[in-house]
C-alpha cells in the first residue's frame, strides 16, 4: 500500500491523468460525430437501396475496389468517401473506368439514376462522408458576383477564368465546366475528384458553393457576347489569331503590291 501511495504522488501522475482524459474525450467526440454524420448521410436512402446497391457493387465494382469496398491494388478503399463521391463518379460516367490513365475520362454513364442512387446508398452505409447536396444549394439563385470572386481565387488557376478548363501536368487536365450539372459541380467541390482539392465547408461554406454554381451557370447562359470566344483561352489564342491573320494580310498585300509594279 505504501508503494502504491508513493506512485500516486509521482510528479508525472497529474500529467499522465490529463493526457488520458484528453485522449478519452477526443476519442468519444470522434466516435459521436462520425455516427451522427453517418446517420445524416444515409437518411435519404432506404434499406432496399443499400441492399440493391450492394448487389450492384459486388457485380460491377468489387473487382477493383474489393468486396466491402475495402480497396485493392487496382482501386482505393471507398469506406468513408460518402454518397456524393459515388454520385459524381458514377453519374458522370467516370466510373467504372474504361481504361487506366492519368485520370478517369468522362463518358456516358453506365448506370441509370436509380442504380446510381443505390450504389451511393451502399457506399454511404459503409462510413461517414459527404452527402448528396440538398436542392436549395443547387437552385442557381445565389450571388453570382461573390461566386465569380470565389471562383477566380480558388478555381481559375486550373479551370481557367472562363471555366473553359486547362491542362495540368503529366497528361492530367481540369475539365471545362459548361454543361456540368449543378449537383455534380457541388459534389466535386466537397469530394475532390481526380486532381482537384477538397473544398470543405470550413473553407468554402455551402452558401459560397451555391454562389460559385450561380456564377458558372450565369456565364454559361450568357455565352460570348463579345464575339467568337476562340476557346476562351485568353491572350494565347487571341494573339495567335492576330499574328496569323495579320501576317496573312501582310503577305497578301505584298503579293498584290509586287504584281502591280511588274
* Number of CB atoms found within 10 A of residue 131's CB: 22
What pairing do the DSSP bridges indicate for beta strands 173-174 and 166-167? antiparallel
Quick check: 106 and 173 in contact, CB under 8 A?
no
- Which of 84, 57, 31 has the alpha carbon at shortest distance from 193? 84
Q: How far apart are CA 119 and CA 55, in angstroms?
A: 9
* Residue 59, C-beta contacts closer than 8 angstroms, at least 6 positions apart: none
Is 184 annotated to bind a ligand? Reply is: no
Q: Residue 4 annotated as binding?
A: no
> Which burial class, exposed, middle or buried, applies to 33 when counting CB atoms under 10 A from its CB (0-12, 13-18, 19+)?
exposed
Nearest to 62 by CA among 51, 77, 48, 84: 77
64 labelled binding-site residue: yes
Which grid cell is 162?
A: 472562363
How is residue 141 written as a grid cell?
439563385
CB burial of 217-256 (b: ≥16 within 10 Å; e: otherwise) equals bebeeeeeeeeeeeebbeeeeeeeeeeeeeeeeeeeeeee
Say whether 159 counts as a known binding-site residue: yes
Q: Which three cell numbers stand for residue 113?
A: 439514376
75 annotated as a binding-site residue = no
Please tell me whether 206 is known to bind a ligand: no
Retrieve residue 39's grid coordinates. Answer: 446517420
Give the whole-angstrom CA distance, residue 49 versus residue 113. 12
Binding residues for heme c: 61, 64-65, 155, 158-159
Residue set of the binding site:
61, 64-65, 155, 158-159
Amino acid at each position: 500500500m505504501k508503494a502504491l501511495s508513493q506512485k500516486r504522488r509521482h510528479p508525472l501522475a497529474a500529467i499522465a491523468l490529463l493526457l488520458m482524459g484528453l485522449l478519452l474525450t477526443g476519442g468519444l467526440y470522434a466516435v459521436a460525430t462520425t455516427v451522427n454524420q453517418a446517420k445524416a448521410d444515409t437518411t435519404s436512402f432506404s434499406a432496399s437501396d443499400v441492399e440493391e446497391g450492394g448487389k450492384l457493387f459486388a457485380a460491377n465494382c468489387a473487382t477493383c475496389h474489393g468486396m466491402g469496398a475495402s480497396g485493392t491494388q487496382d482501386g482505393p478503399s471507398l469506406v468513408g468517401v460518402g454518397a456524393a463521391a459515388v454520385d459524381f463518379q458514377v453519374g458522370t460516367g467516370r466510373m467504372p473506368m474504361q481504361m487506366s490513365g492519368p485520370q478517369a475520362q468522362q463518358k456516358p454513364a453506365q448506370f441509370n439514376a436509380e442504380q446510381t442512387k443505390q450504389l451511393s446508398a451502399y457506399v454511404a452505409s459503409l462510413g461517414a462522408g459527404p452527402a448528396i447536396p440538398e436542392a436549395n444549394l443547387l437552385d442557381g439563385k445565389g450571388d453570382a458576383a461573390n461566386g465569380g470572386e470565389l471562383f477566380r481565387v480558388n478555381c481559375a488557376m486550373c479551370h481557367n477564368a472562363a471555366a473553359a478548363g486547362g491542362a495540368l501536368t503529366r497528361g492530367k487536365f481540369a475539365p471545362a465546366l459548361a454543361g456540368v450539372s449543378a449537383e455534380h459541380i457541388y459534389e466535386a467541390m466537397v469530394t475532390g475528384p481526380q486532381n482537384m482539392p477538397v473544398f470543405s465547408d470550413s473553407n468554402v461554406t455551402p452558401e459560397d458553393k451555391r454562389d460559385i454554381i450561380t456564377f458558372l451557370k450565369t456565364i454559361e447562359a450568357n455565352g460570348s457576347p463579345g464575339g467568337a470566344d476562340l476557346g476562351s483561352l485568353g491572350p494565347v489564342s487571341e494573339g495567335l489569331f492576330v499574328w496569323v491573320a495579320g501576317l496573312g494580310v501582310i503577305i497578301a498585300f505584298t503579293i498584290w503590291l509586287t504584281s502591280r509594279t511588274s
